[in-house]
Structure 1
């Protein structure tokens, strides 16, 4: 008799059950070791980024395997709102998807359809061939996947998306919305100014719109003071760091402490060539 697999709760289910904000971090390096280290850190969730990081389908699958042993919820960001990519990501075992650059309710509805089997959607059927259904070892995966085993979060990261935030968040099948302040600032002509008052105000409008729709809402914020501010506003989930950013900043701190300080230079001043 084949072994039967029980899949973990989805990100949407964990958000619905949690009494506090879910705190997470990005995994962008492509390293399974880094992913496993982050998975055991105590954060609630990880975002494995297939949009801006050089990750292949195979490397994402290996990272999902690496973190599966830990009590952390992995969410995978697809590169684009594309039904072929979404099908592949779901089949390789990503239960929880984040779809970037969703500006309209029509685009949100298309993401939902891509993530669901017919008749509710257009996801191709390949469960016997794929890790998503654990090669048909998940009981009635085809019948239960749409409502039980897949969670969809869409990303609001433009001025247009903020204007449409309430109807995007209210789209049937969207479990949560995630606000991206960096691209939002860029779309407003304020690139690199995520804390500009106009950007902060737009973020606030998006948060309130999601609340009116009754949909969970999250955001990215690496600055601790900004992150605490959003948590105080009551966001349901947040990203507060990234594996590559932690490595970059901490390696810089080591260089500053053991080279610059001992040489009497200000941190960041040009060093001798090695």
Structure 2
């Protein structure tokens, strides 16, 4: 029986009338993923770069969130052809590729996610969840309609190239990573340093001027709201592990106190 895949995050951003807010899944746990999926957020980021995730655990998390009205995105560990092919074949419709600082790198990423002749993605839809084992009609011919590709700017060089990166065909959005950006600017650990915030907003202007949606990671509520007011279309506002850590610490404070 023919199947229809869910709308991509690209389509959701195009239709959104407000900033879309997401949660980061860093635990590698399908249970945590399902808890986050039912919270009412707009989107979720399943992380393979800084989290203990492999292909099987990512697949389990995609399964866990699939029954909820939330859009999952997978951040791959690097912009590598084989990794991107495998993650797309798992059925991830939305991917985020970290550490992209030039338009050439962005073009390479776009090619990795596209079938020939537009790109170099390996053909295996009959064997994989991406096309639901050939139950999605015309998946090979219309593959670009079923996925969206986002890249992450995390360096001062990337900020300087933001307009060119955003204009690359096949790139559906650009996400700012203030943590690594701060490090590249000499402000390690200071994601809300004024110079970092200014750089992020400069990138927003360049990205949106190219007609591309800009996003950012901002766990500080005031920073998140400021970025939304400054043009961010999608913002990551919290992570499962951080919520658990702070909640557990609050329990200890409430019941044990600050002195042991």
TM-score scaled by length of structure 1: 0.94
Q: What corresponds to 1:263 in structure 2? A: none
| Residue 167 of structure 1: how far off its partner (Å) | 0.2
SS of alignment partner, residue 143 of structure 1: coil
Q: How does 1:132-211 map to 2 (within 5 A)?
A: 132-146=130-144, 148-211=145-208
Tell me which of 244, 253, 257 is aligned to 1:256: 253
CA displacement, residues 209-238 of structure 1 (integer Å, 9 cap, x when unaligned): 001111000001001111111111121000
Q: What corresponds to 1:65 in structure 2? A: 63
SS of alignment partner, residue 234 of structure 1: coil
Q: Does 1:115 align with 2:147?
A: no
Whether the 8 Å contact between 2:46 and 2:74 is mirrored in structure 1 is: yes
Q: What corresponds to 1:99 in structure 2? A: 97
Query: 1: CA distance between counterparts of 2:188 and 2:4?
Result: 44
Q: What corresponds to 1:246 in structure 2? A: 243
Query: 1: CA distance between counterparts of 2:158 and 2:45?
Result: 21
How many residues matched?
260
Query: 1: CA distance between counterparts of 2:147 and 2:75?
Result: 14
Tell me which of 48, 51, 70 is aligned to 2:49: 51
Tell me which of 221, 231, 234 is aligned to 1:234: 231
SS of alignment partner, residue 24 of structure 1: strand
Structure 1 residues not aligned, in runs of 5+: 261-266
SS of alignment partner, residue 48 of structure 1: strand
SS of alignment partner, residue 27 of structure 2: coil
Q: What corresponds to 1:14 in structure 2? A: 12
Whether the 8 Å contact between 2:204 and 2:231 is mirrored in structure 1 is: no
Query: 2: CA distance between counterparts of 1:64 and 1:144?
Result: 22
| Residue 129 of structure 1: how far off its partner (Å) | 0.6
| Cα RMSD, aligned residues only | 0.7
Q: What corresponds to 2:30 in structure 1? A: 32
Q: How does 1:73-88 map to 2 (within 5 A)?
A: 73-88=71-86
TM-score scaled by length of structure 2: 0.99
SS of alignment partner, residue 35 of structure 2: helix
Query: 2: CA distance between counterparts of 1:210 and 1:235?
Result: 10
